[in-house]
A and B are shown apart, each in its own frame.
Chain A
């Protein structure tokens, strides 16, 4: 199979660096170029010494590398629409970060452009390629615990806003400045926007769609950011499955400009734990554990050293397979739209103080 000539764009997303190893090592890819959003993003990129040229404009990158077939859009959410439209115009396949947009009208434009261009547009929801999630999906599909009655899930992390400031800017993260609720000085665009995974996962586990959600925000752990960092969500799927999610930034962090050892204050900086109760039994699941643990440099704090990082490998494998074999990605724009609808409904519920239909 001819390797896919691939590029990375913007380099301002928190997941940017996680692709580097996969792009270098996978023989089905030929990583030919990158372009950074600005000099600061380029400076960080240069620290990793990838040996791949990096430009400061997408135009220049495409001009110098007309053979680029696909891109990873590692950009702030507000940039996605313009980048998707540009790539579609060029006939370049797209791997988008986890939130293409929160705006339904923008979503329509993206779908139309991608359909018209006949390109692949895959959304990065990397949990699907995690071996523990694969096992969880298999156990449930095999009927080990019977029909699902209830799901509880955490998707809790530290806040990336100090290293990736756009994630704390309502316009860049949510797409516009919308107050969380009357009398609340905060705006949409925080922790919820960072954590779509569990909203997606429950759809796969149940095979059902969302009915309604109820959501509440708590006082921020970081009072100096203008977006929510603590929230809870519960609700029901159309098949009757009840759920409770915690998609907060509830793990504190050192305010580093570049992610590095010692970033976390709480030992485990990222957790996705899922409990599924069925008619015949229950499953409790830690998607990122067990690991190894230490209290060494730089801060001598007890810290989880992760041993799970298959997600990026499987994600890219699917992307290449879709490009070369003309397949539809599992997480495509149309599928993912319902997940975004639910997240928007969470914000509506926060604003109204009432459950919201999805």
Chain B
């Protein structure tokens, strides 16, 4: 993560879109289970970033729900597998996506764990169910894999195309050195890794909509608790239960 270049890009976006609020991306604490960076604001406070929320696939999935392309969502089926990220980090993101795409707070979660894996059933306040399959046990060097499927009375939406089990890429290159894949998602920020792009975009969203800072800080703090208590649920022999935040 090249914070110097990322901050230059953030300033470039501010200038281009005439956003007055200013801030600087800073690395998160090493033991953070949230995003790898946060946004330090001019007033000295720090905003938690939820960089998956402005990710286009999730923006479009949410549009499908908000625009009533899907009607009466019942169940979310999410999966996330990684060689690099911790189980806690994976679950933190997926739990946030449950609430964000499910549009209802989590009221309970029961996780069954095995080594660096967790299989979780989540209930939302409005009755929706979510399954979350997490694994931090991919072999080193394996690309991250995930899937987000939303099942409704009318329609199913997914960020993975039918008849595939792993994410597809935009470009596949085959040479004597083997296969390489590329999926570029942002022309304005071309050259950054997708993880860096998502952090820059999330920081820019906070600068563009300053009210997000408070909302994301609250969500972040809650997600830390949700994640810890969810992972402890099997040991406790009961689903973790959460009161709805006011």
- For the complex, give the distance between the alpha carbons of A307 and B184 in Å: 11
Q: Does residue B234 face the partner (Cβ distance < 8 Å to A)? A: no
List CB contacts (< 8 Å) of A105-148 with chain B. 129-132, 134-136, 139, 144-145
**Smallest beta-carbon distance B63→chain A, Å:** 8
Instruction: Say if the beta carbon of B156 comes within 8 Å of chain A.
Output: yes
Residues of B with C-beta under 8 A to A284: 171-172
Any B CB within 8 A of the CB of A90: no
User: What 0/1 pattern do residues 296 to 316 of A give for CB contact below 8 A with B?
Assistant: 110010100111101101100
Given A144-B175, A297-B71, A305-B64: A313 in contact with B170 (beta carbons within 8 A): no
Instruction: Name the one of A27, A283, A307 contacting B17, with C-beta atoms under 8 angstroms.
Output: A27
* Partner pick for B173 among A282, A294, A295, A306, CB 8 A cutoff: A282
* B residues near A179, Cβ cutoff 8 Å: none
List the one stretch of B54-62, B110-118, B137-145 in contact with chain A: B54-62
Question: Cβ of B125: which chain A residues have Cβ within 8 Å of it?
Answer: none
A307 in contact with B171 (CB, 8 Å): no
- The answer on a CB contact under 8 Å between A290 and B69 is no
Count how many chain A residues have C-beta atoms less than 8 Å from C-beta atoms of the other chain: 42
Q: Are B176 and A280 in contact (CB under 8 A)?
A: yes
Whole-angstrom distance between the Cβ of B228 and the nearest chain A Cβ = 31
For residue A280, which residues in chain B have a CB less than 8 angstroms away from its CB? 175-176
Chain B: minimal CB distance from A139 (Å): 6
A296 touching B60 in the complex, CB below 8 Å, given contacts A26-B16, A132-B171, A310-B187 = no
In angstroms, how far is the closest chain B Cβ from the Cβ of A42? 25
Cβ of A296 and Cβ of B154 under 8 Å apart? yes
Interface residues of B, CB < 8 Å — how many? Answer: 43
Q: Does B18 contact A (CB under 8 A)?
A: yes
Give the residue of B57, B170, B173 whose beta carbon is less than 8 angstroms from that of A287.
B170
- Interface residue B155 (Cβ < 8 Å from any Cβ of A): yes
A-B CB contacts (within 8 Å), total count: 133
User: What 0/1 readout, one digit per residue, does chain A (156-199) give for beta carbons within 8 Å of chain B?
Assistant: 00000000000000000000000000000000000000000000
User: Does A290 contact B170, Cβ atoms closer than 8 Å?
Assistant: yes
Q: Quick check: B187 and A293 within 8 Å, CB to CB?
A: no
Decide if A297 touches B69 in the complex (CB within 8 Å): yes
Q: Report which of A135, A296, A302, A306 forms a contact with B170, defined as CB distance below 8 A.
A: A135
Q: When A282-B174, A283-B172, A290-B168 are in contact, do A134 and B155 touch as well, CB less than 8 Å?
A: no
Name the interface residues of B94-148: CB closer than 8 Å to any CB of A.
none
Contact B173 A144 (CB under 8 A): yes
Write out the residue numbers on chain B whose beta carbons fall within 8 Å of the beta carbon of A5. none
Across the interface, A295 reaches (CB within 8 A) one of B17, B156, B161, B167, namely B156
Q: Tell me the complex Cα distance, A84–B31, Å.
A: 61
B residues 157-187 near A (Cβ < 8 Å) are: 157-162, 167-176, 182-187
Residue among A144, A290, A293, A311 making CB contact with B169, cutoff 8 Å: A290
B188, CB-defined interface residue at 8 Å: yes
Which of A129, A290, A306 has its CB near the most chain B CB atoms (within 10 A)?
Answer: A290
Contact B157 A290 (CB under 8 A): no
A129 cross-chain contacts in B, Cβ below 8 A: 187
A314–B16 CA distance with the chains assembled, in angstroms: 12
4 further interface pairs, Cβ-Cβ under 8 Å (given A131-B190, A261-B67): A285-B171, A286-B168, A293-B158, A302-B162
Closest 5 CB pairs of A and B: A296-B155, A281-B175, A27-B18, A131-B184, A294-B157
Measuring CB to CB, which residues of chain A are less than 8 angstroms from any residue of chain B? Answer: 25-28, 129-132, 134-136, 139, 144-145, 261, 280-287, 289-297, 300, 302, 305-308, 310-311, 313-314
- Residue numbers of B with Cβ under 8 A of A are 16-18, 56-57, 59-61, 63-64, 67-71, 152, 154-162, 167-176, 182-188, 190
